[in-house]
Structure 1
Amino acid sequence: MKINLWLLPFLLLMSSLPFMASGLEQKRVDIAVFGAKPDDGKDDSKALAKAAQYCRDNPGTVLVFSPGAYILKNAQGIETERAAMRGEMGDNPERVIFTPYYPYGRGMDFSGSQSITIEGNGAKINCYGWMEPISIEDCIDFTVEGLTIDYPEKPFSWGKVVKVSPHDFEVQFSKDRIIDDKMILGRMTFWDLQKDKLMPDVLYFPKRELLGDNKVRFHATIRPETVGQIANVLHCFHFRPAILIHRSVNTVVRNVTIHAQAGMGIVGFDSRNILLEKLEVRPAPGYYQSTNTDATHFASCDGLLRFDNCYFEAQGDDATNVHGYYHTVLTAKDNQITTKLEAPTFTHIQVIDLPRVGDRLELVNRETLEVVDTLTVKHAAEDKQTLINTLTLDRRLEIDPTKYFVMNISKLPRLEFVNSVINSHLARGILVKTRDVLIQNNRFNGCSNTAIHVGAESWWNEGTHSENVVIKDNVISGCGFAGTQGGASGIAFIIDAKNTRKTFLHKNICVENNVIVGSGNLCGIYIGNTSGAVLSGNTVSNCEMDVYIKSSNDIKIKKK
């Protein structure tokens, strides 16, 4: 039998999934044992917490839900939501609640579990309070399947645009939540009901005027055709994810739906081997917003990260962003350096990104992001107060530390994103800053920015440049209608740094048999900062040119 080499890493992963490697006997336990009953309108929080504790104490458990709705409340999350919504954390709560080691509430905390399966059977968890509903931390062989996560009290408000004037517009908000003068109104977007897609206008912190009966006038300019369409306004940006995967090995998320979250849908950090299969991040019926920010986000992971047959719609940012971090070198003496992550929002779970002994670090020029050396970590220590890492390396360094980053290339996963749909949302579809990548047989519809963005971003301290990337058999339509990377509607390879005129960093690229229907963009495909790419069989329409090439060499184009 012939085996597709691209599937080999996944087959290796499958051999180490729950119960296959551990040899632990499975024990099925019904959630009702802990007192949780669906659809009875009672608070199930204590029962769900007991069930999670049982899983922590009993490796090999299969926790079985009966279909129906369960109520999950978190007192700390409810207070965080109240304070943020009332403006007690300023006009942007993210600056308070999305900071290093900020305390937060957890719903079902599975920390330290081994060989656990959560069998949801279509159950729905209705969450109250801005929390982290499912925490998978320090776990081995953990599977969650068949669950839906939602918030009856959404972290956003919505209404219908009833009037548009040259300098203002009016929104009749739903009765879900009464808008007042203290409530935080962050980013506002608009959804076209007739075309069932996101519209181009985006407003931040719009000035309001209360008109009574939950009608609000906003003093900003939007296009006249927005009358009759839906306005969504967020009450926060980043906070905790619906599902956290941290320091865990062999995690499977299958047939899970996330309707809303005051932050991202799933965040994986410092974890190995993650499979997302039939994950859906989409609005609840009757709504036009899913997660407030990214649908998924993975940083400093390794092994294989695979998306298969997933669906993403109406999230407030990328469907996924996969990357490592550029750490600023503060000092260098002999074979020891100190580093600090100076990213605008730190790490995406707000804990230090500490290398492991044996990890390989690339020494990177800050201005160009070119790699100048590769080093090995012999010892690593963190300081949670200063957020500084002290690293002992395998040899002496004689450098000016003000000129360099370090990138941990041992914490970069292989990425496979296949057979999935990304539909109508803000920002990019897939943002890739890792190596060994397959993006195949996906549909991208109405991403407001470039559908597939491959590129390091020095301003965000996210990287690295990519190598060994295959992008093939994708259909990309109507993307890049509100911004692009390099002018590309469909696919862009680019490096964001101070000086990139002669930085040919992306290597061994294949872009093949993709169909791109643009939004009147400069190009369908942008190739920048690349050395070695083959483009073949791609079809581009509704763009000024098929391919735009800049600061690249050894690019071969074969037409269909």
Structure 2
Amino acid sequence: MWQNIIFLVYLYFCKTIVYSKIITPDDPSTLQSAIISANQEEGLDSVTLAPGIYRIPFNSHPNANILLTNLRNFVINANNVTFLMLDNRKRGIVFYNCYNVTMRGVMTIRNDIIPFSQGYIESIDQKSFVINIHDGYPTTLDNTIYFPKASTYYIFDRNTRRLKDQTYDYYNRNIIRIDQRRFRVMFDNNLGQEIVIGDLVSMRGSGDFGIICDICELMQFIDINIEFAGGFAWFETGGKGNNRYERISAQPGPKPLGATEEPLMSANADGFHSAGVSHGPTIINSFFTRMPDDGIAIHGEYQMIRQINQNVIICMRRWAGIPYAIGDRAAVVGEDGIPRGEARVQQLRTLPDDYLSSIDSPWPHFQNNHYYFELELDTNLNGTISSNDFISNIESTGSGYVLKENVILNHRARGMLLKAHDGLIESNLINGSSISGLVMQPEFWWGEGNYAERVIIRNNTLIRCGYATTGSWTQQAGVLTIYGTGTSSVAYGHHTITIENNFFIDNDGVQMVLDGLKNVLIKRNYFTNAQHKVNNRGSDHGIDGGALVHINRAQSLTLEDNRAWCLGAAHSKPLQVTYLSTQIIGMLDGIIVDNHC
């Protein structure tokens, strides 16, 4: 008996004392197995990676350089560590089905070969230009392993090295090598006068995510930097979420060997992307710059309803599987933009592929969908559900997110693109987002939802947004845009939004676009040095680029103690309110303009 007691005490103290081990960069091919073994076989609480460069070799996995699965209650300490991914076509680190895992330290994940290239325009024809690749950057643009034949090209100002004002996304159709470092890039349409010889150019190459959390919960990433990501730098998808990201970044790495020019881009897509996660991320004091897409994006997924039989609906989806569980709340919204209501899922069933014939949908995301499933709801929403309506799982839209004290700098697209409930957006700096600083809008064309509810936007600073890769066609025209969807005049999908104490500095065009919303407070926001240049963003939708705030399809909206000064010659009016807006308080004195500087 006493021998057993002594043995148990021995095990207890051994487990208490021997809780971690050190991994060195000597054999990086064993890194993955060493981490998994420490947690799942040795029962350790943590591992510590010795400082140094870990050159992660090519491996046989189809899409991951490092795959960490089923980790539980574990810490990866990695101070002064760099993971150098030799295969830039794969995902960097994949965390799959992990719970309460922390990765921390001054750590960098970098692709060894930059997954894009850059150079300058040497000559221009009507539908093509010749790019001369900068020293040290990839010259494999005609190799489809590393660059798609058709990609997206971006034009940068040779002095500021930001996206050039009034340039767009340029989609090429072909590329032909001229010599070792020069290529002719061909387009379907004539190139505009906004492009001139000497402009700098970069483009999207092939690649994948930097770090992905797939079906994970309570993850923590602290002081982790991603450089030269092949897709999204950071990506979380599926699972319960509630992950925390503190002092993370997406930014360019160092110049490649032999280069004299600094990198123009940091990744091939978004800085941070959250899709289909139950509880949204907390992102604090982080930095995202030079991406060719959004800074931070959070959303769920729409499926299209094809048939209805009382409480039973048949849905069509782009991917296999049923993104619901029994008891989940589902939100239905009409193609006209009107929310139909919410229902609980009582039963679900997978249907055969191509269960129904395909349809010619006006929404690209829903063209040629092959996967079907059936939901039984606890209500038919008084018979208001129609075929071609959209449905989404409210439990998987990233609600409850917190975005605080982050910096998003000099990149293409939206600083933040948010489509979830119960969010806090506070004390962020968004400077140089080419389309908009902050956008909330359901997007049927991407199959991404939902409307925003109960969101606080306060103490943020938005500087010089909306200067490139956008134009008169966009609905997301405001530096801050909350926009509905569909054509109905009463599509009030967004509600209970507070926009308070934000600073808008050096922005041309319309500053706020507010559409498809109700119960909104806009209080103590400040606009300075705005509208010195004409910018026609949104004019195709009746939005006046000279107005500070445009309001349409709004109900119960209050403007209070907002102020503007140092406005330029392109300013036309403080407020543009359409006849589709009702119960607007502060139309006369909600924005005070002081023409002095």
- TM-score clears 0.5: yes
Residue 376 and residue 58 in structure 1: after superposition, are their counterparts in 2 closer, same or farther (change >3 A)?
A: farther
User: Does the CA contact (< 8 Å) of 1:110 and 1:136 recur in 2?
Assistant: yes
Q: CA deviation at 1:163?
A: 4.1
User: Does the CA contact (< 8 Å) of 2:308 and 2:387 recur in 1?
Assistant: no
Runs of 4+, deviation exceeding 6 Å: 23-26
Is 1:366 equivalent to 2:339 in the alignment? no
SS class of match (1:45): helix
Q: TM-score with structure 2 length normalisation?
A: 0.76
Q: Give the % identical residues.
A: 19
Is 1:507 equivalent to 2:476 in the alignment? no
Equivalent in the alignment of 2:364: none
Q: Which protein shows a greater Rg?
A: 2
User: Does the CA contact (< 8 Å) of 1:294 and 1:319 recur in 2?
Assistant: yes
1:82-121 equivalences under 5 Å are 104-121=62-79
Equivalent in the alignment of 1:452: 438
1:309 corresponds, among 271, 275, 285, to 285
User: Does the CA contact (< 8 Å) of 1:474 and 1:515 recur in 2?
Assistant: yes
1:314-333 equivalences under 5 Å are 314-333=290-309
SS class of match (1:241): coil
What code does the residue aligned with 2:212 have? L
For 1:225 and 1:354, locate their aligned partners in 2 and report how far apart those are by CA, in whole Å. 45
For 1:155 and 1:128, locate their aligned partners in 2 and report how far apart those are by CA, in whole Å. 11
What code does the residue aligned with 2:282 have? R
Equivalent in the alignment of 1:211: 178
Residue 531 and residue 447 in structure 1: after superposition, are their counterparts in 2 closer, same or farther (change >3 A)?
A: same
1:191 corresponds, among 156, 162, 168, to 156
1:371-450 equivalences under 5 Å are 371-382=339-350, 387-395=371-379, 401-412=386-397, 413-450=399-436
1:150-549 equivalences under 5 Å are 150-164=110-124, 168-173=128-133, 174-179=135-140, 181-183=142-144, 184-185=148-149, 186-199=151-164, 200-205=167-172, 207-219=174-186, 221=191, 223=193, 227-236=197-206, 240-271=208-239, 272-286=241-255, 287-333=263-309, 335-342=311-318, 352=321, 354-368=323-337, 370-382=338-350, 387-395=371-379, 401-412=386-397, 413-482=399-468, 483=470, 486=475, 488-497=477-486, 499-521=487-509, 523-540=510-527, 541-543=529-531, 544-549=546-551
SS class of match (2:387): helix
SS class of match (1:551): strand
For 2:168 and 2:464, locate their aligned partners in 1 and report how far apart those are by CA, in whole Å. 16
Q: CA deviation at 1:280?
A: 0.5
Query: What CA RMSD, in Å, does the superposition of the two structures yield over aligned residues?
Result: 2.7
Structure 2 unaligned segments of length 5 or more: list them: 1-14, 256-262, 354-369, 532-545, 564-597
Equivalent in the alignment of 1:19: none
What code does the residue aligned with 1:434 have? A
Q: CA deviation at 1:246?
A: 1.9
Residue 273 and residue 379 in structure 1: after superposition, are their counterparts in 2 closer, same or farther (change >3 A)?
A: same
For 1:131 and 1:181, locate their aligned partners in 2 and report how far apart those are by CA, in whole Å. 19
Equivalent in the alignment of 1:85: none
1:557 corresponds, among 556, 559, 562, to 559
User: Does the CA contact (< 8 Å) of 1:518 and 1:524 recur in 2?
Assistant: no
Residue 553 and residue 288 in structure 1: after superposition, are their counterparts in 2 closer, same or farther (change >3 A)?
A: same
SS class of match (2:69): coil
What code does the residue aligned with 1:297 have? H
What code does the residue aligned with 1:524 have? Q
Q: TM-score with structure 1 length normalisation?
A: 0.81
User: Does the CA contact (< 8 Å) of 2:302 and 2:444 recur in 1?
Assistant: yes
Which deviates the most, 191-200 or 256-265? 191-200
For 1:486 and 1:518, locate their aligned partners in 2 and report how far apart those are by CA, in whole Å. 21
Deviation digits for residues 161-199 of structure 1 (CA, Å, limit 9, x no counterpart): 344566643322134433464543511113335214222
SS class of match (2:80): strand
Give the length in aligned residue pairs. Answer: 492
Q: CA deviation at 1:54?
A: 3.5
Residue 303 and residue 160 in structure 1: after superposition, are their counterparts in 2 closer, same or farther (change >3 A)?
A: same
User: Does the CA contact (< 8 Å) of 1:299 and 1:322 recur in 2?
Assistant: yes
What code does the residue aligned with 1:216 have? F
User: Does the CA contact (< 8 Å) of 1:352 and 1:384 recur in 2?
Assistant: no
Deviation digits for residues 421-440 of structure 1 (CA, Å, limit 9, x no counterpart): 11111111101110111111
Structure 1 unaligned segments of length 5 or more: list them: 1-22, 38-42, 78-103
For 1:507 and 1:553, locate their aligned partners in 2 and report how far apart those are by CA, in whole Å. 9
What code does the residue aligned with 2:91 have? E
For 1:426 and 1:366, locate their aligned partners in 2 and report how far apart those are by CA, in whole Å. 29
